[in-house]
């Protein structure tokens, strides 16, 4: 998910359509949406769904994405952009929780904090 503050809506829409087109051609891409805030029309969000964080990051490294989408993506607000769904609720179905595929700790090399270690801190 990438958020943008947009002044020139027409140019932004053209760039976003091109970005979604090139992203949609990458392996692991599932879906994408461009959304505008109802109550703040200059706030926009580009949401893409990927089969994994790795597929998303590999897509960003491809020549086609760098050449076509990176100028737009580079103007996103500087905040976290890759999220993994851990709890999902669909109408008429039970809420489903899944384990993170992130592994232990950030980037798989740091130990993750357990409840016990947090509780024992001063």
pLDDT tens-digit readout, 73-112: 999 999 998 888 899 999 999 999 998 877 654 444 333 3
Distances (CA, A) of 116 to 32, 63, 100, 112: 39, 45, 19, 11
> What's the pTM?
0.76
CATH architecture of 2-119: 2-Layer Sandwich (3.30)
Domain boundaries, the chain: 2-119
pLDDT tens-digit readout, 20-76: 999 999 999 999 999 999 999 999 999 999 998 889 999 999 999 999 999 999 999
Tokens describing residue 35? 């959304």
89 torsion bin: left (phi>0), alpha (psi -120 to 50), beta (else): beta
pLDDT, residue 110, reads 38
> What is the chain's mean pLDDT, rounded?
86
pLDDT, residue 104, reads 55
pLDDT, residue 103, reads 66
């Amino acid at each position: 998910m990438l958020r943008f503050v947009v002044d020139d809506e027409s140019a932004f829409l053209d760039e976003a359509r091109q970005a979604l087109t090139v992203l949609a051609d990458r392996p692991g891409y599932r879906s994408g949406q461009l959304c505008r805030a109802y109550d703040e029309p200059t706030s926009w969000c580009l949401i893409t769904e990927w089969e994994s964080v790795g597929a998303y990051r590999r897509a960003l490294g491809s020549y086609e994405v760098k050449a076509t989408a990176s100028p737009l993506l580079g103007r996103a607000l500087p905040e976290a952009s890759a999220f993994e769904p851990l709890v999902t609720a669909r109408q008429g179905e039970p809420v489903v929780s899944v384990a993170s595929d992130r592994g232990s700790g950030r980037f798989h090399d740091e130990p993750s904090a357990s409840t016990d270690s947090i509780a024992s801190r001063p």
